[in-house]
Structure 1
Amino acid sequence: MNLKKLTVTSCLLLGASALPAMAQDDTSALCGGSGADALWAGGTQDMSDISSAEDYLGLVGNIPAGGELTTLFTVSSPIMVRMEAAPTESGDTVIELQDANGMYILSDDDGGGFLSSRAEAQLDPGTYCLVATSYDGADLLAELRVSRMEHETLTSGSSGGYSAVCEPSTEATPFRPEGALDSVLAEGISSTNTISQTPFYRFTLDSTQSLSITAENPNADPVLSLYDDFGQLLAENDDFDGLNSRIDFIDGLQAGTYCIALESLSDEFAPVTVTVSEFSEQQYMQNLYNMADASPPLDGSYPVEALGTLDTRLRRDVRDGDNLTWFSFEVTESGLVLIEGIATAGSDPMLTLFDDLGRRIDQNDDIGGSYDSQIAARVNPGTYVLAVGRPGGYYGTPGMTRLAIQRFVTAQ
């Protein structure tokens, strides 16, 4: 649902009296390509450090149909950061946070209340990309805001933020009554209950552990949050894998007591499986591949079908499933590639195109008011990687996508 290029029709610096001149730094390599043509939240890189900003930072800009609007900001010292997006008139925003290397950190759809987006996270020093898209792929004008917790909010939040807030006095079900989770993280430990029945779990760690927490059942559309023993929000996620949620603590969660808070954005009586397990780099990367947030390597460690050299036109029928289907193809001279995903038998495909270095070139979901998808991209000689399918899988009956890739060369 992201395009590498965007056109900003209205860009206003918020929280300041005027808009400084835009920085001329090359940001194209930031955030796996999402930084290309992105705007600094404070107008320039020097003015975009949210750790020291006197007020919130942000902008108003256009999210083109099927595209994205990205703002960059920096963190100079560890701090809790609030990130928000809201349509200025109509529409439904979705936000995603990436670090400078393009690694996914979090995403949110309606955490800001109604159709606005909002998420809070403790961030370490570095550069970050806040990427906003339109949920239905429609063109919309949106405001993006990055702030500290004491700054004014853009959105009201879901009941002032997600309602499932875990404070020290909140009653919570022990996730493992036998004791700390350290000894069972390698195999993982799960609990399945409805959110209406069990909205909170508590667990303890005896030592620092790199771990992952997931909440799964798309019928419930769970929101997953983690609080420390003082009631401080540490991380939050809505839709990581389709409508399922996931939080990763790659650098480790310190010894202590923690509270998992759950909220359902759909059916609160649907059973949700919550799992806490040892962080797996392999599983983490596979999830990124299956969400088209990153492209897999071409070394044979992940299934990618090589289509060979694209001379004129290739066609494939791709069966829809829970995982994206990946293809690679070669281009021998500069020109234009037209890729079409034709929806058949109830399919709703999405296409995502990367170059061989993993830079996302283009992405498209629905075009021309249909469920078909289409990418037209200028290409140079090289290898290209294409994802076909619905990130997070299909919740109805899977269908079939008719894939067509056609190459055009410049007239001589």
Structure 2
Amino acid sequence: MTPVLFLVLLLLSVPVALVLALTAIGYIWASGNTVLYDSFAQKMFAGIENYGLLAIPLFMLAGELMNEGGMTRRLINAARVFVGGFRGGLAYINLLANMFMAAIIGSATAQIAVMAQAMVPQMEQEGYDRGFAAATTAAGGLLAPIIPPSMMFVIFGVLAQIPIGDMFLAGILPGLILAFAVVCVIATIGFVQGFPKGEWFTASEAASALLYCLPATLIPIAIVGGILLGIATPTESAAVASLIAFLVGWLVYRELKPSALFGVFRRTAVNASMIIFMIAAANVFGWVIIYEALPQKLAAYITSVTSDPFVFLLIINVMLLFVGMLIDGIAALILLTPILLPIAIAHYGISPFHFGVVVCLNLALGLLTPPVGVGLYIAAAMSKTNPGQVLKSLWPFLVAVAAVLLLLSRFPVLSTALI
């Protein structure tokens, strides 16, 4: 009964958090172990009683304050200083600005929405196809779940009970490799299609752009530097970054008004609460997983197929690619980590950090693949084009990301070298 209830609710497009909670309630009722109802609320609360989860709303708050304070435009201008003069310069600016944003926002969907509004009109004005401009922005958004700070890394770290700071370190090299792969795709397409040549800033323009961007760079420095130097936890770094974003936007750039804070806090609270509630519901759904012994059953099946860790990861990658096409990445992460991680560690000796990087990048791909593809639809909506046109230009980027995913699966050291 329980699997049927789960699938029916999922197919009816019931929010995933409610699917998890209602499935757990149905399982308790079907099993007759109704005493579990008494501790249902306690179990949900226990799922979010984790200090590390506070980093999620704080990173979201930092991103909201940064957007409201006019820092996005200045980061784009700074990116133009370094790559703006190359052929196809705006495409590289898009990617480099996405890297800057990834070190601040940590959310792929938020990043795609912000960058699509900022970059697609500029690229179209200079002769780029609108679908390609939106596809480049969407592909750059995949850096957010990998380059620290990453909301998916925070959630995975909490679920796996591993240090979130170390999880951030594990994403640095994979994030740089992914960025290089996207650069190669842009360069190849630019060579074939003959992208327009960019223009370099003059020395005075470059100095001005970098000077105006300098205060905004304090945010990623505070986040990544605080963690790398061991000065602050990820949660504390997120709080410091939020404070810096507010002060810079208010006192330096003078674009963030204190009167706008209520709207910023409200958007942050609404977006963060959806994720937190999902985690709480996943904790009670853990009852179903425990009582049905799903990890043990799945482990017995997979280990009968292969004993090779790389082949195991290939099987998991194929499964997650399919799941990511149907379920939101964060929801899939919350749902599947408690099932798959014990198998990876106990039966294949895979590092949880390596496994986390592979799983998060894989599920991030689902943001850009139909039929769900939230990131794909956001990029299309913000660039005022249809998803099919974006997807037509997006497939070379998806192939490149899939190749990086295979590379990371085959060589664990790429994820664990900095830990």
Q: Same fold (TM over 0.5)?
A: no
TM range (shorter): under 0.3
Greater relative contact order (CA < 8 Å, ≥ 6 in sequence): 2
Under a length normalisation based on structure 2, what TM-score does the superposition of the two structures give? 0.24
